[in-house]
Chains A and B, each alone.
Chain A
Amino acid sequence: MAGGNSHERGSSPQLRLETVGMDSLIIRLFDRIEESNMAWILAADGALREAFGTALVDLVPSYTTLLLHYDVAALEEGEVRARIQAALENLAPQSGQQGQLHEVPVWYDDSVGPELAPIAARLGISVEALIARHGAHDYCVFALGFAPGFAFMGVLEEALTTPRLKTPRQKIAPGSVGIADRQAAIYPSRSPGGWNILGRTPITLFGRNEAGEPSSRFMPGDRVRFVSVSREEFVRLGGDVTPLEERA
Chain B
Amino acid sequence: MSADNDKRVRLDVKRSGALALVQDAGRLGVRHLGVTQGGAADWVSLGWANWLLGNAPDAPGLEITMGAGLTLKVGQAGTLALCGADLAATLDGEALLPGQAFAVTAGQVLKFERPVAGLRAYLAFPGGLDVAPVLGSAACTVRDGLGGLDGEGHALASGDVLTAAGNELSLRELPASAQAWQQSLTLEEGEALELALVVGAQIAEFSGDSLFRAFNRDWAVDGRADRMGVRLTGPRLERDGAGMVSEGIPLGAVQVPADGQPIILLNDRQTIGGYPRLGALTPLACAQLAQCVPGTRVRLAAVTPGQARQDHLAALAAWQA
Contact = CB atoms under 8 A, between A and B. Distances in A.
A56 B248 CA distance: 15
Given A59-B32, A144-B32, A189-B145, A65 B247 contact: yes
Nearest to B136: A213
Contact of B31 (A19, A58, A63, A152): A58
A148 B33 contact: yes
Interface of B: 28-35, 37, 134-135, 143-146, 198-202, 245-253, 270-273, 277, 279-280, 282-283, 305-306, 308-309, 312-313, 316
Contact of B282 (A20, A22, A31): A22
Contacts of A214: 35, 134-135, 146
A169 B249 CA distance: 24
Interface stretch (A66-74, A123-131, A195-203, A226-234): A66-74
Contacts of B33: 144, 148-149, 206, 215-216
Interface residues of A, number: 47
Q: For the complex, would chain B's binding face be called helix, strand, loop or mixed by DSSP majority?
A: mixed
Interface of A: 18-24, 26, 31-33, 45, 56-67, 69, 72-73, 76-77, 143-152, 189, 191, 206, 213-216, 220
A61 B271 CA distance: 10
Nearest to B34: A144
A146 B250 contact: no
A21 B280 contact: yes
Contacts of B134: 213-214
Contact of B32 (A26, A60, A191): A60
21 contacts: A18-B202, A19-B200, A20-B280, A21-B282, A22-B282, A23-B250, A23-B283, A24-B248, A26-B201, A33-B245, A60-B271, A61-B32, A62-B248, A62-B272, A63-B247, A65-B245, A67-B247, A69-B31, A76-B306, A143-B246, A149-B33
B246 to A, nearest CB: 6
Contact of A19 (B30, B145, B253, B305): B305
Contact of A146 (B28, B32, B270, B282): B270
Contacts of B306: 76-77
A20 B253 contact: yes
Given A20-B277, A67-B247, A67-B248, A144 B271 contact: yes
B201 A146 contact: no
Contacts of B277: 20
A60 B31 contact: yes
B91 to A, nearest CB: 37
Given A20-B201, A64-B245, A206-B34, 9 more contacts: A20-B198, A21-B251, A22-B280, A62-B246, A67-B249, A76-B306, A143-B272, A145-B246, A149-B34
Nearest to B281: A21
Given A20-B253, A62-B245, A214-B134, A73 B313 contact: yes
Contact of B271 (A26, A64, A146): A146
A148 B28 CA distance: 14
A64 B305 contact: no
A66 B247 CA distance: 7
B283 A22 contact: yes
Contacts of B35: 148, 214
Contact of A77 (B31, B143, B199, B305): B305
B250 A24 contact: yes
